[in-house]
């Protein structure tokens, strides 16, 4: 009996264990998931400093027309030293430079009249104008990033600003990718009669990289026991093995049988979905094995729905399952009752919200529909037909 969509995904995520952590340098942190709590070792800013190129002044001279003597200059990277702002004087200062003693505001250069010796105030100012106060952004000893944070450029900037050179993140899973079939040839090879190019391996590898994993291409196993055994044994050295094709009912569909002979425990074979019904999931200890259908559309859809969430969970992502939203279906869709159907759609903005339009022929052999789609509409199992104008759940891809 085929497993339901929801139960299959829950079972997979239950077996996707969190990986150990490793220290990684700043340059390689993008997209990684933090495996430790980060506390600020200092304040940001580290000192009071100017937010503008201008003049440091005191409140006593807050009068339009006041002409002040320029008594010093503080460029970025310098220190204020003994410089002090007193009534009747101003100190020229550049953005980021530490403010001198007695400074109560910075007047931007463009808001003054000035020469080499004097500056004239042309508009009133407020105390604190354009002064960045020590610790106003980040106080010392504050928790600024928590375990499970996905590190984006802003977080990496903050880590660098606080002086971190490495932090602990969860490891990336190694993912072996195996295509099967006598008919397959590699890109660049001559394609003979009855042969097709092994495209699945490359789309899966790209998807693995997008999800943060480290793909390992194993090449193609031929439709015989010896070839399959050799390749499967190699693939089972990785933390995840993904096979494509060889999981249906044909005479040469040997993948599931050969995996069981290799000591793999099959947890399910077949899910009540379309496309991708003959998907299998197995485990060997902590290793996960996904046996995906060979049709390219089915391969990509089942990866999105089942493999990607597992990859993300293993790396500590707090929300491994993509959020869904709703869109209005523009065309009636017929389907088989009892199966969740994944409809490739293009989602755009309409007058009353998002609208979802079929990206084309939904036959699983029409690869171009995946190229045109930017979302998958999830049609529920208990419906045989979803009418145009109804709201449907969608996942953006």
For 291-345, write each residue's pLDDT tens digit: 999 899 999 999 999 999 999 999 999 999 999 999 999 999 999 999 999 999 9
Q: What is the pLDDT of residue 173?
A: 98
For 30-47, write each residue's pLDDT tens digit: 999 999 999 999 999 999
pLDDT of 155 over the 60 cut? yes
pLDDT of 259 over the 60 cut? yes
For 39-75, write each residue's pLDDT tens digit: 999 999 999 999 999 999 999 999 999 999 999 999 9
Q: What is the pLDDT of residue 364?
A: 86
Task: Report DSSP state, residue 389.
Answer: T
Average pLDDT over residues 379-383: 96
| pTM > 0.75: yes or no | yes
CATH architecture of the region 31-44+139-170: Alpha-Beta Complex (3.90)
CATH superfamily of 325-396: MoeA, C-terminal, domain IV (2.40.340.10)
Q: What is the pLDDT of residue 250?
A: 52
Best CA proximity match to 356, nearest among 386, 319, 322, 320: 386
Residue 184: band (very low, low, confident or very high) from pLDDT cuts 50, 70, 90? confident
Average pLDDT over residues 360-364: 91
Are 41 and 129 contacting, i.e. CB atoms less than 8 angstroms apart? Answer: no
Best CA proximity match to 179, nearest among 214, 216, 207, 221: 221
CA distance 237 to 208: 17
Fold of 49-132: Molybdopterin biosynthesis moeA protein; domain 3 (2.170.190)
- Which CATH number fits the domain 5-19+172-314, given the four candidates 3.30.2130.10, 3.40.980.10, 3.40.640.10, 3.40.50.620? 3.40.980.10
Domain ranges for the chain, please list them. 5-19+172-314, 31-44+139-170, 49-132, 325-396
pLDDT of 211 over the 80 cut? yes
Cis ω on the peptide bond leading into residue 152 (within 30° of 0)?
Answer: no
3-state secondary structure of 393: strand
């Amino acid at each position: 009996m085929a497993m339901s969509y929801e139960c299959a995904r829950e079972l997979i995520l239950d077996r996707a264990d969190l990986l150990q952590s490793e220290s990684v340098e700043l340059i390689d942190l993008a997209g990684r998931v933090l495996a430790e709590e980060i506390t600020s070792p200092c304040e940001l800013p580290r000192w009071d400093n100017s937010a503008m190129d201008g003049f440091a002044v005191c409140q006593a001279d807050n009068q339009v027309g006041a002409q002040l003597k320029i008594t010093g200059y503080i460029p970025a990277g310098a220190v204020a030293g003994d410089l002090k702002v007193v009534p009747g004087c101003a100190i020229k200062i550049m953005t980021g430079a530490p403010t001198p003693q007695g400074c109560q505001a910075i007047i931007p250069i463009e808001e003054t009249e000035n020469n080499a010796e004097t500056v004239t105030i042309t508009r009133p100012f407020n105390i604190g104008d354009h002064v960045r106060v020590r610790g106003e952004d980040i106080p010392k000893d504050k928790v600024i990033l928590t375990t499970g944070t996905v590190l984006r450029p802003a977080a990496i900037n903050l880590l660098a600003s606080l002086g971190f050179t490495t932090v602990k993140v969860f490891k990336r899973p190694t993912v072996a990718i195996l295509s099967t079939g006598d008919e397959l040839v590699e890109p660049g090879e001559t394609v003979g009669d009855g042969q097709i190019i092994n495209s699945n391996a490359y789309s899966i590898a790209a998807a693995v990289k997008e999800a943060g994993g480290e793909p390992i291409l194993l090449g193609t196993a031929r439709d015989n026991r010896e070839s399959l055994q050799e390749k499967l044994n190699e693939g089972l050295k990785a933390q995840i093995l993904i096979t494509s094709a060889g999981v249906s009912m044909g005479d040469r569909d040997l993948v599931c049988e050969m995996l069981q002979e290799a000591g793999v425990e099959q947890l399910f074979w077949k899910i009540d979905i379309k496309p991708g019904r003959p998907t299998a999931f197995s485990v060997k200890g902590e290793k996960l094995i996904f046996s995906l259908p060979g049709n390219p559309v089915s391969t990509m859809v089942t990866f999105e729905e089942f493999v990607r969430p597992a990859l993300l969970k293993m790396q500590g992502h707090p929300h491994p399952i993509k959020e869904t939203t709703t869109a209005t279906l523009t065309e009636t869709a017929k389907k088989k009752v009892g199966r969740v159907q994944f409809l490739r759609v293009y989602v755009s903005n309409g007058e009353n919200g998002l609208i979802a339009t079929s990206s084309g022929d939904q036959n699983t052999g029409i690869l171009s529909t995946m190229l045109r789609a930017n979302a998958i509409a999830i049609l529920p199992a208990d419906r045989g037909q979803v009418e145009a104008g109804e709201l449907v759940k969608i996942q953006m891809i």
